[in-house]
Structure 1
Amino acid sequence: MLRTFDIILITVMLAAATVTYKIKYDAEKRMAEIRTLQRKIDFEKDTITLLKADWSLLTQPNRLQKLVEVYQSELDLAPIDAKQIGSLNDIPERPADEIENIISGSDELLAAIKKTDEIKTGSVRQGQ
């Protein structure tokens, strides 16, 4: 009887040791993946910062002015006149029939929106 109990305990200890080792190995593997992803994220952040710096250098007004002067004949650019800048009053009004088409189309759009609002996804709580 004592021998059978000892064999059962040894088997349980071996199983527990195996499970513990597997859990430890999986955790170390996940930590290595996390470190790799963190390095990639840091690299991408550095790249974004570098690209923002490059963009700010490329869009400096002095640099753009020099490029305009160099390529003036090819671009055929001219300074903006004050009369080119308009106001809301300068925009012509739409004809009434176009407005009616827009309004009638909005009823269909509102019906479609209401229909999609009735679909319950579980991610939105009612009454909040």
Structure 2
Amino acid sequence: MKSLLYVLSAMAVIGLAFWAYRENYETQHVLNQAERLQRDIGDARSRLAMLRAEWAYLNRPDRLRDLAEINFGGLALLPLRPDQFGRIDQVAYPTEEKMVISQTVEVSSDGAGEPDLQARDEE
């Protein structure tokens, strides 16, 4: 009987060791994936910061004004004036369509239009 207990204990230890070995490698794999994702996120943030800086550089008002003057012949861009903007009362807002709900309910004196509460309670 003792030998059977020793064999079962040894099998349990071997099984637990195999499980711990697999869990260790799965954990390392997931940690490597997390590090790779963090690195990719950092790279994407640095690229985004660079693109924002380039966008800000290219959209400087003095640069855009110079480009508009250089390309005036082809684009005919003029500076904006306050009188070019409309007033709020000139904006055509969409009208709200009113939804008409019509439902007919027939009510009889024998109570046929009412739900059967007793049948629902019995189910």
TM-score by length of 2: 0.70
The structural deviation recorded for 1:2 is 2.7
Give the C-alpha shift of residue 85 in structure 1: 2.5
Deviation at 1:86, TM superposition (A): 2.9
> Which residue number corresponds to residue 73 of structure 2?
73
After superposition, the Cα gap between the structure-2 partners of 1:11 and 1:60, relative to the gap in structure 1 and judged at 3 Å, is: same
Distance 1:7 1:49, change over 3 A: same
- Name 2:8's counterpart in structure 1: 8
What TM-score, normalized to structure 1? 0.68
Structure possessing the higher radius of gyration over alpha carbons: 2
Tell me, in whole angstroms, the C-alpha distance in 2 between the residues paired with 1:63 and 1:92.
33
Measure the CA separation in 2 of the matches of 1:53 and 1:59.
Answer: 10
> 1:1-128 residue pairs with structure 2 within 5 A?
1-89=1-89, 91=90, 99=95, 102-104=96-98, 107=99
Partner secondary structure for residue 78 of structure 1: coil
Give how far 1:103 is off.
Answer: 2.6
Q: 1:78 to 1:21 in 2, by over 3 A?
A: same
Q: Which runs of 4+ in 1 moved over 3 A?
A: none
**1:93 offset after TM fit, Å?**
6.8
Query: Residues 75-102 of structure 1: CA distance to partner in whole angstroms, max 9, x if unpaired?
Result: 112233342233224x1778xxx84xx3
The RMSD of aligned alpha carbons is: 2.2
* Number of aligned residues: 100
Structure 1: gaps of 5 or more residues: 109-128
CA distance in 2, matches of 1:28, 1:3: 37
Structure number with the higher helix fraction is 1
